[in-house]
Each structure stands twice: as C-alpha cells, then as structure tokens.
Amino acid sequence: MTLCILICTSLAASAHEVQPAIADLTLDADLARLDLRLNAEALLAGIDLDGVSDTNATEGAADYDALRALPAPEIEARMRAAWDRLGQGIAMRAADGAPLPLTLDSVAASELGDLSLPRPARVILTGRLPEGTAAVTLHWGKGQGTLILRHIGVEDGYSGYLDGGATSPPIAVTGHAGQTGLSAFLSYIPVGFDHILPKGLDHILFVLGLFFLSTHWRPLLWQVSTFTLAHTVTLALGAFGLVSVPGSIVEPLIAASITFVAVENLFSDKLHRWRPVVIFGFGLLHGLGFASVLADFGLPEGQFIPALIGFNVGVELGQLAVIALAFLAVGAWFRNRDWYRPYIAMPASAVIALVGAYWFVERVFL
C-alpha cells in the first residue's frame, strides 16, 4: 500500500516539490552579506519545511497555492512586512558567541510564470562585523527546511549542508574554514541521499522499475551495477564541466527511461542481453540530472573531489534504501508466490509506466 501511494502521489509532486534553500555568504573586513534563494510562498504560508518533500502533504497547502498565484511585487511586499517573524531563526554569531544582527536589505521574487514549477525568491541580508572578527557561525531556523551554505569570494571557502535548526561550524572571515576532505565528504553524503529520498521521485520510480523486473537478485544486481557505473561517469564529467546538456533535453529523456523499463517489465521477467546496455544509456542521462542538481548546490573548491564522492555515495545509499524499502514492502513477503508477478509486479510497473509517460508529455509540451 505504501508503494502504491508513493507512485500515485508522484504525479502531482513535480508542481509542489520542496527545493533546498541556497545561501551564498560573503564576509568582508567589516560586512557580512547573506544572499539567499528560498521558497518565499512556503514561508509565508507557515509551512514547516523540515523533512517535507511535497507541500501538498502539509496543512498550509491551500495557502501555498494561493500565494504562488500572486504577482512578484505582492510577494515582495508580504515578505518585507513579515520578515521580523520569518527571519527569527536566521542568526549569525561571532566565534565567541556574540550576536551579529542581520537586517533585510532586499527582496526580489521571480516573475509569475508556470504555476506548476517552484518560484524562488532572492533575499539579501547584511550585517556589520566588529573589528577583529575572525570567524562566524550561521544558525538556520527550525522549520525552514534544508540549506546549502556556501562561503564565496575567497580561495578556501566553506560549503556545507544545514538542516532546519542546525548551526554551521565556525567559518573564518579570511576563507580558511578548517574543512577537511573527510568533513566535505561526510557533509555531501546527505545531499546526495536527499536527492533520492525523499525528493528524487523520478529516480525512485526508475529504480523501482528495475526492482520489478524479476524476483531473482542476480538481474537486479546487474541492472543496479550498470546504472551506477553509468551515472557515476556523467555525474563526474558534468561536475568537472566537461559535459553539459540542457535540462529541457535531459528531463524528458529521464521520464522516457522510466516508461521504457516499466513497459519492458510487462512483457518479460528476464534480463535480456540488451537491457543492461539500454540501462547504461539511461544511467548516463540520470547522471546528467544529478550533475545539474550538484551544480545548483556548488562544490567547495578546496575539497572538490571528496565532496563529489560524498554526493555520489549519498545517491547510492538512497538507491539502496529504495530497493530495501521495496523489498520489505512486497518482495520479502510475496516474491515467491505464483501471483506476485501478475498481481503486484505488473500492475506496479504499469502505474510506473503511466507516470513516466505523463512526465514525458508534461516536460516536452507543457
């Protein structure tokens, strides 16, 4: 039942998917500047974004949808009027714990466009740094979801991942944040995992399509290994800037890949020779999708490779978690039953195929 709910609700999730906020922090000799890109409508609607992947699943969904239809100037005005409340959880302190107040400098909401897509707003906060400030910490408010924090403008900046209610480690004004390769690796594992569970619904459905091919482990391991190898290649190439394909091309093809593997499940329960080759090609596409997400988050220049590896490890852990959950939900109990394929695997594959086809049409024509 849980699996069916996940598949069915994914049809509408693209219009209400919660994206992490991104903050670029600049620290000069006497000024701190925090450049935020966030979901203004969700904050105005009072939605608790911690652990939420879809605003439809929250109590403030109706208010959120109404706010998303407002023109940009109205959103900006409401953000300024409510900022004393909305910004309470965002706090900067010096390394010794002294508060460094931040004030709202500007708000710029994106123009009203496709209501099926998130509309980010840009909020800039500034604050004075007392003379001699060597390092600062940033606290991200509870209920404000995930934040990707990047210290920019220096050679050895900081890049980290904060959940709602978390505080960053000390970030040095001069740029040396004390971030080791291990800390960069560990901090990017949850970024990769989060992109699969709970936010990567298209990747979840693709992995489920692999899962429902057969009740035997060998075909699944072959498929997952092939998919992993392929998306690792293009993720690395994309992260290094060697390959770049527009999302308008990649995203419809990812949807098509979901439909293909699911439809093939309806006609065969065996791993044919061509399927690993096809999955390898689809894996290259999914890797480009991962690379575009990673480009939005950014990678720390001083620890580029550890962060990239950490992100990929997180993606793999997310995929393994999807397979484990599917196995616990249906595979462990029913895979050896005669009726497993006609009554579970094939109907699930049919629903996955329909969702993939819907996404393909939506991404190409809508």
Is residue 3 one of the residues assigned to a domain?
A: no
How would you class 268 by CB atoms within 10 Å of its CB: exposed for 0-12, middle for 13-18, buried for 19 or more? exposed
Amino acid at 306: P
pLDDT value, residue 169:
87
| Closest C-alpha to 20, from 232, 213, 294, 288 | 294
The pTM of the full predicted model, rounded to 2 decimals, is 0.67
Which pair of tokens denotes residue 60? 């403030």
pLDDT at 14: 47
Q: Are residue 99 and residue 206 in the same domain, yes or no?
A: no
Helices assigned H by DSSP within 87-216: 181-196, 201-211
Per DSSP, 345 falls in state I
Residue pair 73/92 in contact (Cβ under 8 Å)? The answer is: no
Residues 238 and 289: their CA atoms lie apart, in Å, by: 9
So what's the pLDDT on residue 13? 42
Q: Which domain holds residue 221?
A: 191-365
216 and 352 share one domain: yes
Determine the pLDDT at residue 263. 94
In whole angstroms, what is the distance from residue 187 CA to residue 314 CA?
A: 10
8, part of any domain: no
Specify the pLDDT at position 67.
87
Tokens 């605003």 label which residue?
55
Q: Is residue 186 part of a domain?
A: no
On whether both 106 and 242 belong to a single domain, the answer is no
Helices (H), 197-216: 201-211
Looking at residue 146, what DSSP letter applies? -
Q: What's residue 156's pLDDT?
A: 64
Of the residues 178, 211, 237, the one at which a domain ends? 178
Neighbours of 117 (CB within 10 A): 12
- Listed in sequence order, the residues at least 6 apart from 289 whose beta carbon sits closer than 8 Å to its beta carbon are 202, 203, 247, 250, 251, 254
Q: End of a domain among 178, 207, 226?
A: 178
Task: Please state, as a whole number, how many other Cβ atoms lie within 10 Å of the Cβ of residue 105.
Answer: 13
What are the per-10-residue average pLDDT scores of the chain (366 residues)? 44 57 86 91 86 67 85 92 90 90 92 69 93 89 87 72 88 67 80 83 91 86 89 87 84 92 90 86 89 72 79 90 92 88 93 93 84
Choose among 267, 249, 158: nearest CA to 212: 267
Do 72 and 23 have their domain in common?
A: yes
Identify whether 251 is part of a domain.
Answer: yes
Same domain, 159 and 200: no
pLDDT value of residue 83: 93
Domain identity same for 49 and 119: yes
Domain boundary among 178, 202, 230: 178
Rg of the chain over all Cα atoms, to the nearest angstrom = 22
- φ, ψ of residue 67 in degrees (nearest 5): -70, -35
Residues 281 and 224 in one domain: yes
Q: How many domains does the chain have?
A: 2
Predicted confidence at residue 54, as pLDDT, reads 65
Distance separating alpha carbons of residues 234 and 363, to the nearest angstrom: 21
Query: Exposed/middle/buried for 112, CB within 10 Å: 0-12, 13-18, 19+?
Result: middle
Show the tokens assigned to 178.
């004390």
